Amino acid sequence: MDRSLKTEKGDSALNDVQLLGLLIQMPQGSRASFDKRTHRRVWRRTTRLTYYYAAAQLLEKQDPEEVTEEVLAHLEAAQSAMRYAWGSSELSRLAASRPVELDDKTQLGLQTIFNEKRYTEISESPLGDLSSEEKLKVIDELGRQALTEIYRQLILGVISELWVEYLTSMEALRVSIGLEAYAQRDPLVQYKNRAFEMFRELLDNTRTGVVTRMFIYRPRDMSSVQTSVSSPQPEPPVLVAEAPQASPTEPEEKKKGKRKRRRRRRR
């Protein structure tokens, strides 16, 4: 790969860090495709350039086991960073909330990281009043719960997408399997073999889809992964008994009766 590119500060060649930065910042393109489920045209994001040759040059003289360890360490560090980022965001949002106002799952997690005595002490205090060490524990627990919910949504989404494609392929196989008889092959045996291969491919694609998306997936509905806070219950209104209206006294009733009689006589 040609590294003799001019930088902004001079004519020196690009180093590995600058080169990787340029490769990562390459824009992605979009491609129109046909959705089998909705029968509509959809746009999918695609990478315009691939860097297999550049990656092969970087990994040419390295031991495969070392590369595997480095990749696993990088993924674990990325997962820890995501966990801390989600936890910090949740703690900032819930800084004014008390543990007793959080949902049952979050309360159970906080009871796990704190002992019973300490949780009782902080249950009525805002989370923002905790010490720095305790805040780190809360961040780790909130991040763990957020990532768990995100991974659950991701797994369900991948399974739903691939399962529909699998059922569509199985239906097409059922319709076309009768043609195997023209090739002097048993359609039933061929159907079993291909169905087994398709199911095994479904499992492999599910694992691959989850692993490749788990570090870039962002939930559409943020409220589904955020900790819910119960609003304080309003105090019940005080009911004041109304004083009963005084009934007219007997002399007044008699007076009204006499007046009505006089009016009738005049008529």
> 29 phi and psi, to 5 degrees?
-105, 180
- Cβ(91)–Cβ(135) under 8 Å? yes
> 84 phi and psi, to 5 degrees?
-65, -40
Output the CA torsion 201→203→208→214 (10° steps): 150
Distance CA 199, CA 162 (A): 11
Predicted confidence at residue 1, as pLDDT, reads: 47
| Contacts made by residues 27-30, CB under 8 angstroms, sequence distance 24+ | none
**Half-sphere exposure of residue 125, counting CA atoms within 13 Å on the CB side?**
10
Burial degree of 99 (CB within 10 A; 0-12, 13-18, 19+): buried
Predicted confidence at residue 202, as pLDDT, reads: 93
Those residues of the chain that have pLDDT short of 70 are 1-12, 23-29, 47-52, 231-258, 260-267
Residue-wise pLDDT tens digits, 65-98: 988 898 889 889 989 999 999 999 999 998 888 8
- Cβ(149)–Cβ(87) under 8 Å? no
Question: What are residue 46's DSSP bridge partners?
Answer: 29
Burial degree of 145 (CB within 10 A; 0-12, 13-18, 19+): buried
Residue-wise pLDDT tens digits, 13-57: 777 777 777 766 666 667 777 777 777 787 777 766 666 677 778
What 8-state DSSP symbol labels residue 15? -
Put residue 184 in one of left, alpha, beta given phi > 0 → left and psi -120 to 50 → alpha: left
Predicted confidence at residue 212, as pLDDT, reads: 84
